[in-house]
Each structure stands twice: as structure tokens, then as C-alpha cells.
Amino acid sequence: MKQDAPSPYDITSDVQFGFLKHIDVDHLVDNAPPGWSNRTLCEVNDCVVRLGVVHGEFHWHKHEKEDEFFYVVRGTLFVDIEGATVELKPNQGYTVPKGVLHRTRAPEPTAMLMIEGRGVTAVGDE
């Protein structure tokens, strides 16, 4: 039986903050583990809001049934799609539609919020 290699990503899909809870994003960013961290902060209707504190690059992937929105809080994030790259600075966002192959890269420690469907698989469908 083949064992999966350990993931280079620290991803938690459990919702950390319920309704009517204060979320201090600066505190969470300042105390995030090094590398690539992704936490599900809260649910909004049929979506989740996630906080990514990242440095380095994520693998190429796509989500067949879900769009994905990225909003940079700190640092610089590159969103690569086939044939193009978008650079995001703080207070800039970008939506990748479902079915589009993409990856994100952060050349420096970067914090971003992501909004996506509750059922999305953070590492992609492919």
C-alpha cells in the first residue's frame, strides 16, 4: 500500500470562529506558523473565509465546481493562470473561476483572505 508524502502545507478546514465572534486577523497573521498555512476562519452562507499566511509557492491545481477569491492583507501574491500572471498587493483582490488551472506564489511572507465554497478542497481537485 502506497503512503502519501507529507504535505508541505498546513491546512485546517475546521471553522475556527462561529457567528458573533471577533476575529483579529493581525493577531492570527503574527502568530501563524512559518511556511504555508491555511485556516478556515468562518462560514458565510454557503462559503468559507480562509486566512492564508504563506511564503513560497503552491502547486498547480483547479477546482472543478468552485470559484476562488483571493484578497491580500500583507505582502505580495502572484496568481498564475495558464498564460498569465497577476500580481496582488495589500488591499487588492482577484477571482479565479471554477475549472481554471492556477497556482499562487508569495516571494515574501504574505497574508491573504480567501473566499470559496464550503465544500472546496483547498489543495484542488487535480
Regarding the domain with residue range 10-16+23-117, which homologous superfamily does it belong to in the CATH classification?
Jelly Rolls (2.60.120.10)
Overall pTM surpassing 0.85 (yes/no): yes
Instruction: For residue 14, give the C-alpha cell.
Output: 475546521
Residues 6+ apart with CB under 8 A from 54: 35, 36, 37, 38, 77, 104, 106, 109, 110, 111, 112
Residue that wins the pLDDT comparison between 110 and 35:
110
C-alpha cell at 16: 475556527
pLDDT at 3: 39
Q: Region 102-122: what's the mean pLDDT?
A: 88
**Predicted pLDDT of residue 120:** 64
Q: Give pLDDT tens digits for 4-44.
A: 445 678 888 899 999 999 999 999 999 998 888 999 999 99
- 36 compared with 72, residue with greater pLDDT: 72
